[in-house]
Structure 1
Amino acid sequence: MSSGSISDLDKNRALAEWLEWQLRQVRNRVRELEVKEQQESRARERARAEQSWKIQPQRAGRPAMLHRGGCTLFKSELGFLNREEAVIALAEPDIEPCQICAPQTGLEQA
């Protein structure tokens, strides 16, 4: 080894540090992309819910109730109804529309 030159060991240490820095950058980017993907997935689900409907079952003498898919008064563990199913449900005498989310809005104009 001549004076003033960098040893192979020092070169490899510098390379290892640089590769570790690059790996940290990539891992941070992966985390950012995962968060973005989760946010987009939640936004798609909210949009789908807003264009769907759900039925709250009859309980304690209260009638069944039709809600918009995004209504937070009733969290459904079942699937959503499409527009046609919501129109049919709304026509049923034992199903009332939610007074808060007004699921009947726009359904009458079929």
Structure 2
Amino acid sequence: MPGPDGISDLDKNRVLEQWLEWQLRQVRNRIRELEIREQQEQRARERARAEQSWKIQPKRSGDTAMLHRGGCTLYKSDLGYLTRDEAIIALAEPDIEPCQICRPETGLEQRG
């Protein structure tokens, strides 16, 4: 039955339902955008951390172990990264060589 404005309660509620569904779609889209941005920012933080770190490629038969910069793509590792001090110690070891591509020894000179 129509109200004083000529629109029935059923019609008002149908319009309200459509509007609320539109709002929910907008919120879900915004959530997706924010999740994507958060993932991108997390990857950027991980890349930045890797660039400030080092990693060791274990020795393989006939090869020596190799020190890489954290972001070097020649050796991918899910293991932890080394700090600057740990990288300096690793380079001092006779059985660990620096990667000739990423040059991990750059910037590792002793500070005095």
When the two structures are superposed, what TM-score results if normalisation uses the length of structure 1? 0.95
CA distance in 2 between counterparts of 1:2 and 1:36 reads 47
Comparing 71-80 with 2-11, greater Cα deviation is found at: 2-11
Aligned partner of 1:43 in structure 2 is 44
Distance apart, 1:109 and its partner CA: 3.9
TM superposition shift of 1:4: 6.7
Answer whether contact 2:68 2:98 (CA < 8 A) is retained.
yes
The residue type equivalent to 1:43 in the other structure is A
- Residue in 2 that maps onto 1:10: 11
* Alignment deviations for residues 41-62 of structure 1 (CA, whole Å, 9 cap, x no partner): 0000000000000000011211
The sequence identity of aligned pairs, in percent, is 77
Runs of at least 4 residues off by over 6 Å: none
Q: Distance in 2 between matches of 1:66 and 1:50?
A: 13
Hey, what does 1:95 align to over in structure 2?
Answer: 96
The within-5 A match list for 1:1-110 is 1=2, 5-110=6-111
Count of aligned positions: 110
CA distance in 1 between counterparts of 2:89 and 2:38 reads 36
> SS at 1:71's partner residue?
coil
For 1:64-93, what per-residue CA distance to the aligned partner results, in whole angstroms no more than 9, with x for missing partners?
000000000001121000000000001111
Distance 1:73 1:2, change over 3 A: closer
Question: Could you say if the C-alpha distance between residues 78 and 3 of structure 1 is closer, same or farther in structure 2, counting changes exceeding 3 Å?
Answer: closer
What is the alpha-carbon distance in structure 1 between the residues aligned to residue 30 and residue 38 of structure 2?
12
Q: Provide structure 1 residue ranges, at least 5 long, that are not aligned to the other structure.
A: none
Question: Counterpart amino acid of 1:89?
Answer: A
Q: Distance in 2 between matches of 1:3 and 1:37?
A: 50
Residues 78/4 of structure 1: CA separation in 2 closer, same or farther (3 Å cut): closer
